[in-house]
Amino acid sequence: MVAMTGHDLFAWFSTTVPLIGALTGRIFCWRDPHQLKTSCLLWSVLSLAPIAAAGVTAPEGPLLLYLLPIAAITSLLGQPTHQDHRLSWLMTLLCLGLGIGVISHPSVIGHFFLLALLATITGLLIKHHTTLWPISWWGIGLFGLAGLGVIMAAFTDPPMSSSAAFLTCVVLIPLLPFHTGYLTALTRLPGNLPSFAAVLLPSVGLHVMIAMLPTVPTSITGLVSLFALAGALYGAVKALAQTRVRLMLSYGSLSFFSVLWWFAATSHMATSRAAVLIAAISLATCGLLIAWQIIRTRYGDDVDPLSISGLASSMPGYGVLLSLLALAAMGLPPFGVFAGFMGLLLHSPIPSLFGLLIILSAWLAASWYIMSAVQRLLFGVKRSDIRHHDVVPGEWGALVATILVLALLGLAPNNWFSSPMATQPVDGVSRGTIWQQ
């Protein structure tokens, strides 16, 4: 019998703390929404303690493991307190524990947690499916396909296991044409779960990608490069054409994640720099979803974004925070999306100048569709026929925390996020580019 080490013990603590929180919240706090939300927030904060004591040695580094509780906290803070949101708060803790379990445990146990996570998300999507959104069946089917990939990866040997893990990975980190699952999660999950899923799914996906990518045949990575370039353009064009904010953000994330896939496929590996880009893209998407939830809280879930304008003068606090989030999401310095993109650009092989041109075009297009949406909300004609309420403390805390973490990702040296297991050389840029030193 193998003795359990201190690292293993803290890994189990970090996994079980949110799960215990979900159970105790359901038993003791279900009748009082205010008490339940407070309990979920406290358990999310407590889950950071064993993570800090665990000393993670995952190849992608400790960044994503710390990011999951932070994303859970911000998504909970940005959600209004109402009894209809109780289930989504408990599911946030449940998915948080399962996500931590995937990253912090060995492959066999991690496969179990990943399968449980995919089953939970699939069940929630089925529960909240509506005939008005039939495309969600495609997303539900893709999550089922990802679960099948987990089972095959657990019970087969390479190269079959690598192909199965690849199938799971392209659903979690959206890659054309397997992106519908991610879009469905961000548009159909209830309550605060879309903003949390924007961080959870890619974080878990990167953990799978790092183990899978070196064993994938070159012929497959060549196809991945082509699909990534197509996805970068497709996501940018679809985001430009959207009037629904959640769909715009989902397609924009597809475009940015396709950039990551292109770099990963050309280098046949994913390092801590990929973790920085994943963290920054997902957290920026999470923050913008929280910002849009603030509008939905005031004007209804089905509010038309074209009908809301002139918020810069009537909601100045919201206007400042939304503007900073938009700058971060567009990939401008000093925020994490810029640092992650430049880190990969300077340290990955560039096999095609045409491919690089497409990637840069997708990055440039983000400035168009994100700023266009923000401009309509903040600087359009002020409407006097609707009531305006600026951000409340919980919403303010969620947005400020998101912006601060995005700035930290852009300013901190790369060795803060690297793993002792990484084998990449340490050079001048490994210690941080000029704006990171």
Average pLDDT of the chain to the nearest whole number: 86
Distance CA 40, CA 202 (A): 23
272-286 pLDDT, tens digit per residue, is 788 899 999 999 999
Distance in angstroms between the alpha carbons of the first and the last residue of the chain: 47
Q: State the residue for tokens 């046949």.
A: 268
Distance CA 249, CA 252 (A): 5
195-207 pLDDT, tens digit per residue, is 999 999 999 999 8
pLDDT at position 424:
40
pLDDT(128) > 90: no
80-120 pLDDT, tens digit per residue, is 998 989 999 999 999 999 999 999 887 788 899 999 999 99
CA 424 to the chain's CA centroid: 25
Nearest in space to 132 (alpha carbons), one of 373, 365, 302, 320:
302
Distance CA 276, CA 259 (A): 13
pLDDT(434) > 60: no
Q: Which residue type is seen at 320? A: V
Beta carbons of 85 and 5 less than 8 angstroms apart: no
Q: Is the peptide bond before 190 cis (omega within 30 degrees of 0)?
A: no
